[in-house]
Amino acid sequence: MFCSKCGTQLLDEANFCWKCGLPQKEGVVAEEPRYEACEISWRYTLPQPIFAIKKFQFVAVAIGPTGKRVVAETPLLSTGSARRACPPLASTDGRAAWDQSHEAVDAMIIALVADGWEYQGPFGDGRYWQKSFRRRVKQQTDKKA
């Protein structure tokens, strides 16, 4: 069998041309790709003593067909201050805490991309950890016993 559009030789069972994508049989429709979304945010580790340096971690939370789940998380990090209640926002919050936070986010991004997540851009107010990703959901095949 040959594709009627580009002439590529195809298997007799082919539903689509592998080269140009033209449907080869009546009534065959390509499924729209489905994606799951993922965003990096942060969370406290509780409980924390009032005057202790605050601890937090970055988490990558995905939402897809199976619901909401954590797909990656960093080790515990320090805010660099007992007063600060969130990740460092500027290097003036403590250079070591700032550098450690950026390195943790960069490592998480590398891990997400290696796991098949596509970077989509910043979200929210665009802070350095606010990144969004998507990943194509693998099609389920019916298993017959």
Q: Which range (51-60, 71-80, 91-100, 111-120) has the least confidence? A: 91-100
- Of 31, 30, 12, the C-alpha closest to 21 is 30
Q: Residue 47's pLDDT is what? A: 64
Q: What is the mean pLDDT of residues 114-125?
A: 93
How far is C-alpha 60 from the chain's CA centre? 7
* pLDDT for position 53: 75
Per the model's pLDDT, the better-predicted residue between 48 and 141 turns out to be 48
Q: What is the mean pLDDT of the chain?
A: 84
Look at 4 and 141; give whichever has higher pLDDT.
4
- From residue 18, alpha-carbon distances to 47, 61, 66, 129, 134 in Å are 56, 35, 30, 40, 25
Closest CA to 36 of 12, 82, 71, 10: 71
Name the nearest CA neighbour of 108 among 87, 92, 94: 87
Give residue 4's pLDDT band: very low, low, confident or very high (50, 70, 90). Answer: confident
pLDDT digits (tens, 9 = 90+) for 49-64: 777 777 889 999 999 9
Residues with Cβ within 8 Å of 6's Cβ and at least 6 positions away in sequence, in order, are: 17, 19, 20, 22
Query: What are the phi and psi torsion angles at 58 (to 5°)?
Result: -85, 145
Q: Give me the mean pLDDT over the 107-117 stretch.
A: 96
Beta bridge partners of 39: 61, 132
Q: What is the predicted pLDDT for the residue at 142? A: 47
Mean pLDDT of 116-123: 94
pLDDT digits (tens, 9 = 90+) for 88-97: 776 555 778 8
Residue 84, pLDDT > 80, answer: no
